[in-house]
């Protein structure tokens, strides 16, 4: 058997995938077939082995690259691969078949260029100054981190995919972030104008200022900050650091010097087998140019790696014949999806659009001229439609007679094609070219979990965009074979939420990093991180903005406020039992008047203040806390309100003091985190003015004490609560609520309401009574102790955030930045208050007439309330 000297230049994601493919193909080949064996050497310019660049920003969370590594430490030695780290190749001599480094010269028979790309830095005068950085490698991230240590503001030049990732990284470092984009919209390659406009609004609502249609003329020293960007329109922007993320360029310098054919605008020209103009030299990934295209995603690079490995192993297939460039992303918490021909460039194509500014979603379909095939799609604000639409595009499936139904809203979840309807040839994972048939074969061979499926097929290990669909296919195929489907929370934890809760509680685990190190793998995802964050809070009640927990939170918890449809936030102070003193009531009015906030008394007997911008949140809350208020946790999966009537204190029908009990209950359980939000109520008699029987926990007074109701809820699917216990004393009532809540928290699924949990509870009401009232499991005292710990550890999260410098630093960009113009959020005056203008713009003529009563002009309103 012939042994060939193979050199790979580049140890990035694509280069590493090539090595794995080569190893796999060599092991799978028939030993009687005369294929070559390889003596492999790999040269990497960086000091560390291949790592995951897709999740690069997560490096800031741990300051460790361990979770990003793509291969086990012994991978190279195990397969006889010599890895040269921090040893850049300086030259290639194709005639002598050698490569040269600073350490010497190395011979090759076959050479693979996986040199990737480098960040494009626009030729702006002043772009080489200190604190002008790029976002590409771990070393780049270390430089950004160092630059941020004494900074308050950062600017990213470039509003594409990587630019928004870089902006997210700056926010994670506690900086006020700006994005400067030359084009008229964000992500111009993937999104159309409407989608780009909506994405900009969403990104700005999250605290990142976006400047589109801005060309930077020069960078000079700032007057108040380190640097100043001077724009061609005469405006300027001061910042402490600049990150260039304006695109990539193929790393083709070695190839050019070696005389290989390049494209007119760069890139190493390759054929379908990824061979360059020299048949002994291959190029894969972002350095390669196929059919005059550079592919800047990991999935096409992986496909090239497979094609090159196949050619070296004398396998005629697969070839590289182009790649799907669809992407599913979550940028700063905002869903963005782009599929196929998103811009409708196909001749004769037609498009269907759905846009809802109120809910912040945009969906577009690009159809063939006859309307029978889906060519492309764009999604902003909701990626639940992505997997479904991708399958129509990838597999050329015939559209339904009414294709608009694929994107129009429904009363339930997004419509799905159904994995049963997908053919065996359907591509599930485009990164690794894994079909539904490949997955079925793996299941037939004995694979029964997601981890095993990913291991044997590689599906879901690239960009991760197919994870949800992969799980659906696995569950469907296992069920059809009569196999019980495991309820793992996600690919990173082979446990359900209930099991993770038990591991956290029993193991006294206090952080996500501890949990994933002991019981998981990888670095987590958007499913397990918030779930674990909730579990940790439910067990130990530490502030969610504490350093170990803040990266786990969703947008609302991150800013301790609910984002509203126009990008502003609501402020909801706690008003226990609906009881409030005149002085505190006046203070709310004064604060609302000062900041021009819309005020509304809610069904939960609180006063909501709407329309606060991010920069105002710390200012508003500081005044509320000074006036004696606490956070109402309206943003969290926790206790919201305890509603009450006036009870026996005032009402002639009342038989117990419902207000005092409601206040007691709300103070006891405030801040308790749960799988879903919790609402309670206390009525002073059976006339039920507090509507206790529609709550998760309802209490109704009797002549002899209190009746306890559980597991009710209102909303889209109302459920009447069940009578649980009667004529309880105050002490008994609190004891049983303690046990009930902690049992629910310990056993419910992720994001499961008490009513749904109860409906799935084996044994139903009788079983729940046995556990809570009669302590049939012997855990009553334990549940009570767990609740006591949460009660003792309670902190007002806003008070803690404002008093703790490290936590308040998360809001410093909003406190120190100039206040944004409120008009930019689209307000108008109605009935003496400011409301979002799009509410009126989108209303029917009849409704417009109803709300168009004489109103105070906006200017007058602002003047009167200064």
**pLDDT tens per residue across span 128-184:** 999 999 988 889 989 999 999 889 999 999 998 888 888 988 888 888 999 999 999
Per-residue pLDDT, averaged over 56-70, amounts to: 73
Domain assignment present for 319 = no
pLDDT in tens, 175-194: 899 999 999 999 988 899 99
Task: Indicate whether 13 and 129 sit together in one domain.
Answer: no
Looking up residue 558, the CATH number of its domain turns out to be 3.90.480.10
Q: Grade residue 853 by pLDDT with cuts at 50, 70 and 90.
A: very low
Judge if 543 and 644 occupy the same domain: no
Instruction: Answer whether residue 820 is part of any domain.
Output: no
- CATH, residue 348: 3.30.390.30
pLDDT value of position 152: 92
Measure the CA–CA gap between 73 and 85, rounded to whole angstroms.
13
Domain co-membership, 262 together with 114: yes
Query: The tokens of 680 are what?
Result: 């309670």
Confidence of residue 603 (pLDDT cuts 50, 70, 90): confident
Q: Which domain holds residue 453?
A: 422-486
CA distance 362 to 356: 6
Average pLDDT for residues 472-478, to the nearest whole number? 84
Q: What is the pLDDT of residue 834?
A: 83
Assigned domain for 811 exists: no
Average pLDDT for residues 36-54, to the nearest whole number? 89
Mean pLDDT (the chain) is 86
The answer to whether position 813 is within a domain reads: no
Domain endpoint, select from 417, 451, 472 = 417
Residue 181 sits in a domain of what CATH number? 3.50.50.60
Judgement on whether residues 543 and 585 belong to the same structural domain of the protein: no
| Pairwise CA distance, residues 16 & 23, whole Å | 11
Give the confidence band of 62 by pLDDT, cuts at 50, 70, 90. low
For residues 112 and 125, state if they share a domain: no
What are the residues whose beta carbons fall under 8 Å from the beta carbon of 860, sequence distance 6 or more? none
Whether the predicted pLDDT of 863 surpasses 50: no
719 falls within a domain: yes
Residue 559 DSSP class: T
Residues 645, 687: Cα–Cα separation, whole Å: 10
φ/ψ of 762, rounded to 5, equals: -60, 130
Identify the pLDDT of residue 841. Answer: 47
CB-CB contact of 250 with 80 (8 Å): no
**pLDDT at site 61:** 63
Q: Is the pLDDT score of 672 beyond 70?
A: yes
220 labeled part of a ligand binding site: no
Position 847 pLDDT exceeds 80? no
The answer on 613 and 658 residing in a single domain is no
Exposed, middle or buried by CB within 10 Å (0-12, 13-18, 19+), for 298? buried
Q: What is the signed CA dihedral for 668, 691, 565, 163, rounded to 10 degrees?
A: 40
Rg of the chain over Cα atoms, rounded to whole angstroms, equals 30
What is the pLDDT, as a whole number, of residue 32?
Answer: 43
Q: Which of 837, 807, 806, 839 is nearest to 824 (CA)?
A: 837
Let me know if residue 301 belongs to a domain: yes
What pLDDT was estimated at residue 860? 31
Residue finishing a domain among 528, 553, 578: 553
Is the pLDDT reported for residue 551 higher than 50?
yes
| Each residue's pLDDT tens digit, 192-227 | 999 999 999 888 887 889 999 999 999 999 999 999
Task: Give the residue from 449, 465, 486 where a domain finishes.
Answer: 486
Claim to verify: residue 622 and residue 653 sit in the same structural domain: no
Residue 859 reports pLDDT greater than 50: no
pLDDT for the residue numbered 250: 95
The enclosing domain of 461 has a CATH number of 1.10.10.1100
pLDDT digits over 234-277, tens only? Answer: 999 999 999 999 888 999 999 999 999 999 999 999 999 999 99
Mean pLDDT of 625-646: 94
- On the question of pLDDT at 508 being above 90, the answer is yes
Q: Which residues contact 818 (CB under 8 A, 6 or more apart)?
A: none
651 is annotated as contributing to ligand binding: yes
Q: What is the pLDDT of residues 554-566, one digit of tens each?
A: 778 888 988 887 7
Q: List Cβ neighbours of 295 (8 Å cut-off, separation of 6 or more).
A: 285, 286, 288, 301, 304, 323, 325
User: Does the pLDDT of residue 844 top 50, yes or no?
Assistant: no
Does residue 784 share a domain with residue 716? yes
Q: Could you give the dihedral angle defined by the CA atoms of residues 410, 414, 415 and 421, in that order, rounded to the nearest 10 degrees?
A: -170
Judged by average pLDDT, the poorest of 12-16, 76-80, 817-821, 855-859 is 855-859
Q: At what angle do helices 730-747 and 658-669 cross, to 10 degrees?
A: 40
Higher pLDDT, 456 or 664: 664
Which pLDDT does position 129 carry in this prediction?
93
The vertex-711 CA angle with 710 and 715, nearest 5°, equals: 130
Q: Which residue has the higher pLDDT, 623 or 34?
A: 623
Which pLDDT band, with edges at 50, 70 and 90, does 568 fall under?
Answer: confident
> What's the CATH code of the domain at 757?
3.30.413.10
What pLDDT sits at residue 833?
86
What is the total residue count of the chain? 866
Q: Does 539 belong to an annotated binding site?
A: no
As a whole-number percent, the residues of the chain with pLDDT over 90 amount to: 55
Same domain for 148 and 10: no
> Read out DSSP for 711-758?
S-B-TTS-BPPEEEEEEE-HHHHHHHHHHHHHHHHHHPPTT--HHHHH
Residues 80 and 223 in one domain: no
User: Which of 477-491, 611-625, 677-691 holds the top average pLDDT?
Assistant: 677-691
Q: Say how many domains are in the chain.
A: 8
pLDDT of residue 413: 47
**Same domain, residue pair 297 and 379:** no
User: Of 483-487, 696-700, 772-776, which gets the smallest average pLDDT?
Assistant: 483-487
Residue 689 counted as an annotated binding residue: yes
Q: Is residue 275 a part of any domain in this protein?
A: yes
Assigned domain for 809 exists = no
Q: What counts of helices (H) and strands (E) characterise the chain?
A: 29, 38
Residues 569 and 712 in one domain: no
């Amino acid at each position: 058997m012939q042994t060939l000297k193979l050199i790979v230049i580049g140890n990035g994601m694509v280069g590493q995938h090539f090595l794995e493919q080569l190893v796999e193909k060599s092991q799978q080949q028939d030993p009687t077939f005369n294929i070559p064996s390889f003596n492999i050497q790999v040269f990497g310019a960086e000091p560390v082995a291949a790592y995951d660049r897709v999740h690069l920003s997560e490096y800031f969370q741990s300051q460790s690259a361990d979770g990003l590594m793509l291969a086990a430490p012994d991978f190279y030695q195990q397969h006889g691969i010599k890895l040269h780290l921090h040893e850049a190749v300086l030259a290639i001599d194709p005639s002598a078949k050698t490569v040269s480094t600073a350490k010497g010269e190395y011979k090759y028979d076959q050479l693979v260029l996986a040199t990737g790309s480098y960040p494009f830095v626009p030729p702006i005068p002043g772009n080489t100054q200190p604190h002008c950085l790029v976002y590409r490698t771990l070393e780049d991230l270390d430089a950004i981190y160092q630059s941020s240590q004494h900074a308050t503001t950062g600017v990213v030049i470039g509003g594409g995919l990587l630019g928004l990732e870089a902006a997210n990284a700056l926010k994670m470092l506690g900086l006020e972030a700006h994005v400067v984009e030359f084009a008229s919209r964000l992500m111009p390659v993937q999104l159309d104008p409407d989608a780009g406009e909506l994405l900009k609004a969403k990104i700005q609502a999250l605290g990142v200022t976006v400047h589109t249609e801005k060309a930077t003329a020069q960078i000079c020293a700032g007057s108040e900050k380190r640097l100043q960007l001077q724009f061609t329109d005469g405006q300027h922007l001061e910042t402490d650091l600049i990150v260039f993320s304006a695109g990539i360029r193929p790393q083709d310098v070695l190839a050019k010097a070696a005389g290989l054919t390049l494209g007119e605008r760069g890139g190493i020209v390759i054929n379908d087998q990824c061979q360059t103009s020299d048949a002994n030299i291959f190029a894969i990934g972002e350095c390669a140019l196929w059919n005059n295209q550079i592919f800047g995603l990991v999935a096409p690079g992986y496909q090239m790696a497979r094609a090159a490995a196949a050619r070296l192993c004398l396998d005629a297939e697969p070839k590289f014949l182009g790649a799907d460039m669809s992407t599913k992303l979550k940028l700063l918490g905002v869903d963005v999806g782009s599929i196929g021909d998103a811009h409708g460039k196909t001749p004769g194509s037609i498009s269907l659009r759905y846009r809802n500014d109120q809910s912040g979603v945009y969906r577009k379909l690009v159809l063939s001229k006859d309307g029978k095939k889906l060519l492309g799609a764009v999604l902003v604000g909701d990626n639940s439609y992505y997997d479904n639409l991708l399958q129509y595009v990838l597999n050329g499936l015939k559209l339904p007679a009414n294709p608009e139904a694929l994107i129009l809203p429904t009363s339930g979840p997004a419509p799905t094609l159904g994995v049963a309807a997908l053919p065996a040839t359907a591509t599930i994972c485009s990164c690794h070219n894994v079909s539904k048939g490949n997955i079925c074969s793996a299941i037939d061979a004995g694979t029964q979990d997601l981890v095993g499926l990913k291991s044997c097929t590689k599906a879901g290990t690239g960009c991760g965009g197919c994870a949800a669909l992969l799980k659906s296919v696995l569950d469907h195929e296992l069920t059809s074979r009569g196999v019980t489907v495991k309820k793992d929370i996600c690919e990173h934890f082979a446990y359900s939420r209930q099991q993770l809760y038990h591991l956290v509680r029993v193991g006294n685990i206090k952080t996500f990093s501890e949990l994933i190190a002991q019981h998981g793998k990888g670095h987590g995802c958007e499913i397990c991180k918030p779930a674990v964050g909730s579990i940790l809070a439910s067990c130990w009640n530490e502030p969610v903005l504490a350093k170990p927990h803040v990266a786990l939170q969703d947008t609302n918890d991150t800013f301790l406020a609910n984002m509203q449809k126009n990008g502003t936030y609501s402020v909801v102070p706690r008003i226990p039992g609906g009881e409030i003193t005149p002085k505190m009531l006046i203070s709310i009015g004064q604060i609302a008047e000062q900041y021009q906030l819309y005020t509304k008394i809610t069904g939960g007997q609180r006063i909501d203040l709407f329309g606060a911008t991010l920069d105002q949140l710390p200012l508003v809350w500081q005044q509320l806390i000074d006036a004696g208020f606490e956070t109402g946790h309206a943003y969290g999966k926790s206790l919201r309100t305890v509603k009450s009537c006036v009870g026996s204190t005032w009402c002639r029908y009342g038989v117990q003091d419902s207000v005092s009990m409601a206040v007691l209950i709300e103070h006891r359980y405030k801040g308790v985190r749960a799988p879903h939000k919790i609402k309670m109520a206390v009525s002073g008699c059976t006339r039920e003015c507090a509507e206790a029987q529609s709550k998760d926990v309802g209490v109704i007074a009797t002549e002899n004490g209190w009746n306890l109701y559980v597991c009710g809820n209102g909303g889209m699917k109302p459920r009447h609560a069940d009578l649980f216990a009667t004529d309880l004393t105050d002490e008994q009532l609190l004891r049983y609520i303690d046990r009930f809540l902690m049992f629910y928290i310990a056993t419910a699924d992720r994001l499961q309401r008490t009513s749904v949990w109860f409906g799935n509870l084996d044994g139903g009401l009788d079983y729940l009574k046995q556990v809570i009232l009669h302590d049939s499991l012997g855990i009553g005292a334990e549940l009570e102790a767990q609740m006591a710990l949460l009660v003792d550890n309670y902190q007002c999260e806003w008070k803690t955030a404002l008093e703790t410098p490290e936590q308040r630093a998360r809001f410093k960009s909003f406190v120190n930045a100039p206040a944004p113009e409120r008009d930019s959020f689209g307000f108008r005056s109605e009935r003496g208050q400011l409301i979002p203008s799009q509410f009126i713009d989108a209303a029917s003529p009849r409704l417009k007439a109803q709300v168009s009563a004489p109103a105070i002009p906006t200017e007058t309103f602002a003047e009167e309330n200064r």
